[in-house]
Amino acid sequence: MKIIDTPEFQRLRNIKQLGGCSYVYPGAVHTRFEHSIGTCHIALQLIEHLENNIAEKNVKITKEEKLCVGIAALCHDLGHGPFSHLFDRGVIPRINKENPTQHEMYSIKIFDRMMENGLIKKYIKDAGYEMEAKYDHYHCIKEMIYGPFDEKTLKRTPEYKFEDKEKRFLYEIVSNEATGIDVDKWDYFARDCYYLGIHNNFDYKRFIKFARVIEHEGYNRICFRHKEEHNVYEMFHTRYRLYRQAYFHRATTGIEEMIEEGITGDLEGYLAMDDHIVTLILHSGGTELKEARDLLKRVTQRDVYKLIKKTELKKPVKGEDIESVAKHIVGYSGGIRADDIVCKMRKFAYWKGNENPVKTVLFYNKEDENKAFKVESNESSEIQPLMYETCFIYVYVKDMAQLEDAKKAVDNWNKSGKDRWLEGINAN
């Protein structure tokens, strides 16, 4: 509660979880505030369960480690900017092309700011927690959020600062880079599906019930009952569906492009920015923000960029190739310029790329609950998809008055045979 009551955390009340999705799905207006509390709740449920399900009975979870997990889960999204991923996916790269830092880095910077005044640390100490006695638990919290990194350079490192092979599983709860199975996903899958009206077949409560800490290749890791393999596939399939049906919906993608253009500025005063930045721009006066104001007015009036082509790619292409598409297209019809066309590439993946995500997950059998193993790729062939990643390119025209010219340009360009980097694609 001491952390929740800080201005840094309360700011999350005004940051929508799903960015521009609310302009397509009216119910999707939930925020990072409730998601963060929900993630903390599930994290504490999982750590309580794991405490009683560790294969090596001499491995104990301390109360300080439990607190670290809870705080990391609570604070993992502190660094989100306006409209959540829209900001770190679209706005930050426009502002800072050399170092397009993602929200996790800002989360640990804001966490440091929260700890600077000492009040929360004092409260934790007075409550009987020794967070800086053996080693710096506060650094562990940040690594649970961001992964292993160097405190001075903020660059990623191969190992956690306070490497403890017996306790590696603690870093697989909030943000799991090893398998992608973590409480952050469990909360937003359930929460987002509920508010989007999308059916959710994945049951994280079964994952908690059948989770167990087992030694594997020298490290204690979180493992799941082998019979939950189908549930693992369902989890990653849920992620894929959410991206394809909602997060990167063609209307959402077009609207978010307009919002990105409208709120692009600088990163000064980051903590002062939330979704209300759009309202401030809309009600601003003078000429300085006129272009942004007019653009955002179009969003509110549903005068949005029009999709003229959605094309499936066999594989992702480089960002500069996507940016050059508009320049190629305009040569096949008069009356439009490259600036009148917007091209976006979106990838929908089960997790990372076109790899089977279940291959990285550790399981155990009822017959030997203390032995961890990975499954072969063909063990559940009846439910495995042919591909784990799909890639699309979207082409929008900004002005409806140029719709026919833009359609003609795209059609002529596609027939020209000069789009060699799209060779072999299936067009919708």
Query: Scanning the structure block, which residue is given the tokens 């397009």?
Result: 100
**Torsion angle of alpha carbons 243, 247, 251, 255, nearest 10°?**
-150
pLDDT tens digits along 348-385: 899 988 889 999 999 999 999 999 999 976 555 566 77
C-beta separation of 320 from 341 below 8 A? no
- Tell me which of 30, 35, 76, 103 is the catalytic residue: 103
Active site residue 103: yes
Question: What is the pLDDT confidence band of residue 146, given thresholds at 50, 70 and 90?
Answer: very high
Higher pLDDT, 333 or 360: 360
Higher pLDDT, 315 or 398: 398
Distance CA 198, CA 239 (A): 12
Q: Tell me the domains of the chain and their CATH numbers.
A: 7-249 (1.10.3210.10), 305-353+388-428 (3.30.70.2760)
Give Cα separations from 316 to 348, 392, 410 (angstroms): 11, 8, 20
Q: Tell me the residue type at 206.
A: R
Predicted confidence at residue 235, as pLDDT, reads: 95
CA dihedral over 35, 85, 186, 29, signed as positive or negative: positive
The pLDDT of residue 418 is above 70: no
Which H/E stretch holds residue 369? strand 368-373
Is residue 75 packed enough to be buried (19+ CB in 10 Å), middle (13-18) or exposed (0-12)? Answer: buried
Token digits of residue 142: 């940040």
Mean pLDDT along residues 298-310: 93
Predicted confidence at residue 97, as pLDDT, reads: 61
The mean pLDDT value of the chain amounts to 88
pLDDT tens digits along 32-78: 999 999 999 999 999 999 999 999 989 999 999 999 999 999 999 99
pLDDT tens digits along 265-289: 555 566 778 999 999 999 998 888 9
CA dihedral over 64, 69, 74, 78, signed as positive or negative: positive
Residue 300, phi then psi, degrees to nearest 5: -65, -25
Mean pLDDT along residues 187-195: 97
Higher pLDDT, 370 or 132: 370
C-beta separation of 39 from 76 below 8 A? yes
Distance CA 37, CA 70 (A): 10
Choose the weakest-confidence range: 103-112, 211-220, 375-384.
375-384
Distance CA 29, CA 23 (A): 9
Distance between start and end Cα atoms, the chain: 50
Q: What number of helices (H) and strands (E) belong to the chain?
A: 16, 8
Predicted confidence at residue 414, as pLDDT, reads: 74
Predicted confidence at residue 154, as pLDDT, reads: 82
* Alpha helices (H) in 52-133, listed in sequence order: 63-75, 85-86, 92-95, 103-116, 119-126
pLDDT tens digits along 175-189: 999 999 999 999 999
* Alpha helices (H) in 52-101, listed in sequence order: 63-75, 85-86, 92-95
Q: Is 268 left (phi over 0), alpha (psi -120 to 50) or beta?
A: beta
Predicted confidence at residue 386, as pLDDT, reads: 78
Higher pLDDT, 271 or 152: 152
Predicted confidence at residue 385, as pLDDT, reads: 78
Distance CA 264, CA 258 (A): 10
Tally of CA atoms within 13 A in the half-sphere of 305 that contains its CB: 29
Nearest partner of 336 among 295, 413, 394, 397, judged by Cα = 397
The pLDDT of residue 424 is above 50: no
The pLDDT of residue 332 is above 80: no
Nearest partner of 15 among 78, 104, 71, judged by Cα = 78
Question: What is the pLDDT confidence band of residue 421, given thresholds at 50, 70 and 90?
Answer: very low
Predicted confidence at residue 426, as pLDDT, reads: 40
Residues β-bridged to residue 393? 311, 345
pLDDT tens digits along 3-36: 999 999 999 999 999 999 999 999 999 999 999 9
32-64: b (≥16 Cβ within 10 Å) or e: bbebbebbbebbbebbebbeebbbeeeeebeeb
